[in-house]
């Protein structure tokens, strides 16, 4: 329910209807709507944490960039394995201060991890001079956005035949200028369909950027 309607639009009534249980049963297992959401979030965060490894300098562990690629791939696969939970966590709904703090902590950890990877790169002479916090935050943002759209794409695909009462079907049109709008028949799905390709593309972006020319 949370995945479909978000935290606020989902009522306890929706949940118990969906779960085919009585109101009291819900409160037998969760003390509040907030708690079930927090429990779901926490569960997912734990799983995701488990899918990320710190970059190691131990040569047995392989090259740092290979380790990073493995991390990306694992995260993406874990997200795909837990589409529902990933969706509600990425939606980043407000909730209360405690849940907020839990999520913030998680992202701070992710930023720390990415920062560490950059620092390792610097030490090895394979990363350029940069503000590692900004890089890490950017990488996190990029990853979140990619994952969000990957999940949105899958939802759009799987719900292709919308139940009566739904209101999907985005007006595909976009792109500023009237020049090359390309195919654009399906808005996002295509490039996000292959998880491993996604991981590689993302990694390449982090590693090499896009442009070959120097900035200054």
Partner DNA sequence: GATGAATGAGTTTTCATTCAT
Partner DNA sequence: AATGAATGAAAACTCATTCAT
**Taking CB under 8 A as the criterion, which residues in 148-207 touch a copy of itself?**
148-149, 167, 170-171, 174-181, 187-188, 190-192, 197-198, 200-207
Site string for DNA, 6-35 (x = CB under 7 A): ----xxxx-------xxxxx-xxx-xxxx-
Q: Cβ 10 to a copy of itself, closest distance in Å?
A: 10
Q: What string of DSSP letters covers 20-82?
A: T--HHHHHHH-SSHHHHHHHHHHHHHHHHHHT-------GGG--HHHHHHHHHHHHHHHHHHT
Instruction: Answer with the entry of DNA, a copy of itself, none that 23 interacts with (C-beta below 5 to 8 A by kind).
Output: DNA
Instruction: Answer with the entry of a copy of itself, DNA, none that 24 interacts with (C-beta below 5 to 8 A by kind).
Output: DNA
CB 47 within 8 A of CB 78: yes
How far from chain centre, in Å, is Cα 94? Answer: 17
DSSP 8-state class, residue 164: T
- The whole-angstrom separation of Cα 101 and Cα 117 is 24
Per CB under 8 A, 113 contacts a copy of itself = yes
Q: Who's near 215: CB < 8 A, 6+ residues apart?
A: none
Give the number of C-alpha atoms closer than 13 A to the C-alpha of residue 78, restricted to the C-beta side. 16
Output 32 or 109, the one with its CB closest to DNA.
32
Output 160 or 174, the one with its CB closest to a copy of itself.
174
Minimal CA–CA distance to 117: which of 203, 180, 43, 10?
203
Residues 34-93 that bind DNA (CB under 7 A): 34
Site string for a copy of itself, 16-45 (x = CB under 8 A): ------------------------------
Instruction: Answer with the entry of a copy of itself, DNA, none that 33 interacts with (C-beta below 5 to 8 A by kind).
Output: DNA
Q: Contact positions toward DNA, by CB under 7 A?
A: 10-13, 21-25, 27-29, 31-34
């Amino acid at each position: 329910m949370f995945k479909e309607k978000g935290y606020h639009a989902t009522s306890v009534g929706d949940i118990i209807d969906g779960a085919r249980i009585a109101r009291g049963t819900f409160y037998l297992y969760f003390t509040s709507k907030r708690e079930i959401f927090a429990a779901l979030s926490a569960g997912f965060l734990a799983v995701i944490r488990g899918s990320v490894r710190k970059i190691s300098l131990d040569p047995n562990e392989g090259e740092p960039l290979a380790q990073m690629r493995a991390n990306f791939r694992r995260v993406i696969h874990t997200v795909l394995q837990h589409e529902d939970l990933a969706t509600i966590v990425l939606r980043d709904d407000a909730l209360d201060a405690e849940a907020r703090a839990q999520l913030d902590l998680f992202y701070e950890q992710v930023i720390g991890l990415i920062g560490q990877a950059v620092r390792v790169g610097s030490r090895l002479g394979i990363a350029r001079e940069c503000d590692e916090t900004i890089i890490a935050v950017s990488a996190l943002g990029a990853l979140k956005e990619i994952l969000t759209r990957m999940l949105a794409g899958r939802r759009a695909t799987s719900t292709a035949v919308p139940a009566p009462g739904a209101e999907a079907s985005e007006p595909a049109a976009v792109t500023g200028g009237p020049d090359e709008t390309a195919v654009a028949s399906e808005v996002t799905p295509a490039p996000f369909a292959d998880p491993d390709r996604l991981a590689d593309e993302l990694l390449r972006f982090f590693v090499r950027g896009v442009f070959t020319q120097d900035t200054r």
